[in-house]
Amino acid sequence: MEYITLNNGVKMPMAGIGVFMMSPAEAEAAVESALKSGVRLIDTANGYMNESGTGRGIKKSGVAREEIFLVTKLWPTVYEKETAVEETLARLGTDYIDLLFLHQPTANWREGYKNIEKAVRAGKVKAIGLSNFPDELLREAIDTAEIKPQIVQVEAHPYYPQTELKKILAETGMGLMAWYPLGHGDKNLIQEPIFTKLAQKYGKSNAQIILRWHIQSGNVVFPGSKNPAHIRDNFDIFDFALTEDEMAEIAKVDKGVRYYTATPEMIAAYAKMELQPDL
């Protein structure tokens, strides 16, 4: 495993698993299986409505809590709720969160940020993240925060490497967690000839080459998978390294295109989207 050290000194594994679009039972099974095969970074969210299943998977794995880097996200409808962090901890069955995000730049996110800062001071949260924040709001958050944020979580992959955002992150020492690291499974991306060529050279799969590119670009990855073989493969990316020339060749597939662009109307709708009970 390789690690990044966040700008507050917290050490974070660079590869893990995300449980987006999984039922609580699926998240439980995926988390248990991932932890048993050595994965130590888990990414969930209030909005995935599977934090309770994630917590059960952690317990069933038998892996000690302090060995796990647990990431979750507050949903906009609870940003102003004083008990939002406590309720999140209760669902996860833990007494601290390694990294807590504001999931969307909407509703009263400024108050939500203060809520997370309080939880950091109380030792319930170790690091703060901002997910899906456009550059101008990210800059505002960085400038106004009492406790500066450590990391962003945004869509990033070889078709959209986030070149502009990376300049802001470099100024502030912030990290990047890449969502859709495999282009949400898009075959066009995964089967780009450059990945097939490098997969043959290194005896790896195309997906592993893409994930290795992320690691060498400094991105934390947490590809989604319910398939135990894929979960293991996605983690087996630390025994080889791409050369600088190969990294440069991969940079050429940048299309400047994302798979998912939230319109202002969609972002406003998130502020009103109530969550279902997470069982």
Which residues are catalytically annotated? 48
Q: Are 232 and 34 in contact (CB under 8 A)?
A: no
Among 132, 150, 217, 219, binds ligand NAD (CB under 6 A): 132
The interface with ligand NAD within residues 134-173 (CB under 6 A) comprises 153
Residue 181 engages ligand NAD in binding (rule: CB under 6 A): yes
Interface with ligand NAD includes 46 (CB under 6 A)? no
As to burial, measured by CB atoms within 10 angstroms (0-12 exposed, 13-18 middle, 19+ buried), residue 233 is middle
Binding residue (CB under 6 A) for ligand NAD from 39, 68, 182, 220: 182
> Could you tell me which stretch among 54-62, 79-87, 105-113, 222-230 binds ligand NAD (CB under 6 A)?
222-230
Cα 63 to Cα 74: distance, rounded to the nearest angstrom: 25
Residues 169 and 176: beta-carbon distance below 8 Å? yes
Among 85, 91, 225, 237, binds ligand NAD (CB under 6 A): 225
User: By CB neighbour count within 10 A (0-12 exposed, 13-18 middle, 19+ buried), where does 37 fall?
Assistant: middle
Buried b (16+ CB within 10 A) or exposed e, 243-275: eeebeeebeebeeeebeeebeeeebeebbeeee
Interface pattern 3-42 for ligand NAD (x via CB under 6 A) = ---------------xxx----------------------
- CB neighbours of 144 closer than 8 A, spacing ≥ 6? 110
Residue 80 binds ligand NAD (CB under 6 A): no
Give 94: exposed, middle or buried? Use CB within 10 Å, 0-12, 13-18, 19+: buried
233 touches ligand NAD (CB under 6 A): yes
Task: Tell me the window of 58-66, 116-124, 139-147, 174-182 that interacts with ligand NAD (CB under 6 A).
Answer: 174-182
CA 179 from chain centre, in angstroms, equals 6
Of 69, 222, 235, 270, the one binding ligand NAD by CB under 6 A: 222
Query: Would the CA dihedral through 261, 266, 271, 272 be positive or negative?
Result: negative
Q: Rank residues 74 and 119 by Cβ distance to ligand NAD and give the closer one.
A: 74
Among residues 69, 160, 179, 235, the one that binds ligand NAD under rule CB under 6 A: 179
Give 120 or 207: the residue with its C-beta nearer to ligand NAD: 207
Binding site for ligand NAD (CB under 6 A): 18-20, 43, 131-132, 153, 179-185, 205, 207, 222-225, 230, 233-234
